[in-house]
Structure 1
Amino acid sequence: MSRAIDLLRNEPRARVFFAALAQSSLGTGAAYVALLVVAFDRFHSGWAIGLVLFADLVPSMLFGPVFGAAADRWSRRSCLVVADLVRAAAFLGIALVDGFVPTVVLAMVAGAGTTLFTPAALAALPSLVNESRLPPATALFGAVADLGFIAGPAIAAGALLLGGPDVILIANSATFAASAIALVWLRFGAAPAAEQSEARKGLLREAREGLGAVLQMAGVRAVIAAGSAMLLFAGLFNVAELPFVRDDLDGGDAGFALLTAIYGIGFVGGSLSGSKGGHPGHLKRRFLIGLAVVGVGFTAFGAAPGLAMAGLALALAGVGNGLMLVYERLLIQVTAPDRLMARVFGVRDALTAWAFAAAFLAAGGLVQAIGARALILIAGVGGLAVWAGSRVALRKTWADESGEPDELGEAGLARRRGTFRGGAVGEEGADTVGGSDGGSALLDRTH
């Protein structure tokens, strides 16, 4: 936490960026509740909620690498501004139009804005802050986003007592517009420099190159695969959690809301722990610890006899989720070449969206077939299997021979930038991104 405070105290541009992110995250958290209410009111079916949630995932599933390529080609700050304006227009449209079909289409448009914003933001963070403050900036990015999903629904609850969900959607549109206005004045996120001998190709071809680059970087590939697999099991957990709390633990809706808040608080704590940073070998170990903690937390939650034990288990899983996500992002940031970084994050977002969608489609039938508790236990055991498989896949990657942590100070990051970000994938040094195994084969929040 002290490193995050130091970041905000000493980085004026970061203060503006995170203030803009905080208010839009609160709006997003509140609008999430309002959007589900509007969808159900316009279609009067549980399918309405499912279709709106699925619509938000579709752009990432189909266009994640393409939008990542856009953020590697043009100014990342401009991409952030465009993404915020797209989301502002989409939520304003949802509030003003009538009918379920336009609601789903506009939810998809809002999802497209998020699909562009996330890889552009994570790839732009190294240019926003001093190199030694990249770890706390990345940690704070995840913590602020999740705080919005903790506090936002509470704001929505109060707002719904005073007005309809349309008011919340309009207010969320205003937060995105305010964010765009704030970001347009910041100097950061310039377009990455292309190789001198490299001629610009089409956007789709550059997106394919991003996919190929991820396949060549064995370490990054393994980390993204682990994160996506964990999100698959977390998606199963998400669907089973509410019926489990209601029926097996007799917690009711209030108990579910309390447990969700506990999980979110744990997530923020785990995310902020990434402020310390470290050598890639240490980042890898903490990433693996996060995977293990999520698996243990899910399993303990499934075995819990009551709300008290379930709350402790969910707090543990939240911490693990935060650890896993922040160290996954840090590993990508300090090892992927800058000119490819947004594409790597775009590939990661696409895979995690597919994983969540698969879980979302399968979990309802599984809950009916085997019960919520059994499905949660499967999610926990599956999470532990992801941890075990990742330990094997990463055992020779980013080996820390010194045994001493490197806090990613300016000299260390500058050296690493020259080694990892300075050349194309496949060149000497850049290939080390994939780890020392020479390319052996073998991802927003997973709750």
Structure 2
Amino acid sequence: MRIIRNAEEGRRTLLARRPLEIEELPMEIRETTFRTFGQELAPDEVVRRIIRDVREDGDNAVRYYNSAIDGAHTPELRVQPDEIRAAYDALPSDLIEALRFAADRVRRYHETQLRGASIDFQHHGLGQVTRPIQRAGIYVPGTRAPLPSTVLMCAIPARVAGVDEVYLTSPVLPDGTVPPVKLVAADIAGVDGVFKAGGAQGIAAFAYGTETIPRVDKIAGPGGLFVTIAKRQVFGDVGIDSIYGPTETMIIADESANPELVAADLIAQAEHDPLASPILLTPSHYLAEEVAVAIERQLRGLERAKIARAALENRGGCILVNDIDHAIELANEYAPEHLCLCVENPTAYAMKVRNCGGLFLGEASPEAVGDYTAGPSHTMPTGGAARWSGPLGVHDFLKKIAVVNLPEDEMEELNRAAAIIARAEGLTGHAHAVERRLQGR
């Protein structure tokens, strides 16, 4: 792990947020693109064509791209009840119980969140009412790493918000099935239906609907490059929760921190993706050196060591700071997805944190537990979006409706002022609409 000796160099390097430019797609993806479209295409154009075809040819287009891109034969796009029953039989009982335990934690957290998210009021003829959206689509990536935790973290907030219909779509295995653990998680989360459609075709199907897959009001959930591009392209025709990039974890630690735990937490995030950003801020030279040694030791024999090492080399490292207040200043500038305070009395510093997706206080609250069983959704803002947004939650599935029911005794004052402003804007039709009400009094 590289150690950067001062904050200014850290700002120019680790904290600079280099754009995730696509220099060259992997050969496997380029070959698939050529085989599917007869020519090499940029990712934006690949997604544009997939969306067009799904809009025009519905289920047939989804089946075609499931086969051409994922190599999966999917004559039936909707997962049937017997597939879900078989999924339960395929899983060990302790995994099913762990999923139920996690689901209960996520549900209870969001039930508490709901009480603060749905604030309705009526005051002097003006008000606000909160309504859930009617239909939500959850996209959950992954087959080899099927991410049942993401199913829970995205679907349960929608269910708690009161969404009428919650659907899920997923890429499929070569045999045309959705991984059993993902199906069980969807059933536990209360999803109304699961569909076999990965990548851009899954996003397009939710955005525009097909014969089998319903059109939804909003799409939520993370995904890879083509899913991200698809969400951008369909936005406006359908709502989206956010655009998610590679994961980020920033740990602020002082000399009281256990270097073995700090190293383990950095590796836990680094193993997600070679483009992940595992960053340590500390005023302690000794801790920085000990963490670097611990990382090398812990990477040995780790199943995803190659990925973790690439992340640590590409976008990870340690920045030495003056003190913990200085570290928090840098963290607020960077606005990480996850911010972990491994310091003495972390609650004393918590109020100084302005920008992060999730705040983890102390070594007993590791971000890895937040990924699974803590309660808040692990679908959090990346790329600096924590400066203006927060984790996926019930609020993402609720909308506010303004209510205007004005009292008669205020009619003249309101209408006269409105007519003056309307005429100043050149909108005489607006002025006439309010003046006619004054004429009738």
Please state which band the TM-score falls in when normalised by the shorter chain.
Answer: under 0.3
Greater relative contact order structure (CA < 8 Å, 6+ sep)? 1
Q: Which has the higher strand share?
A: 2
TM-score normalised by L of structure 2? 0.22
Q: Which has the higher helix share?
A: 1
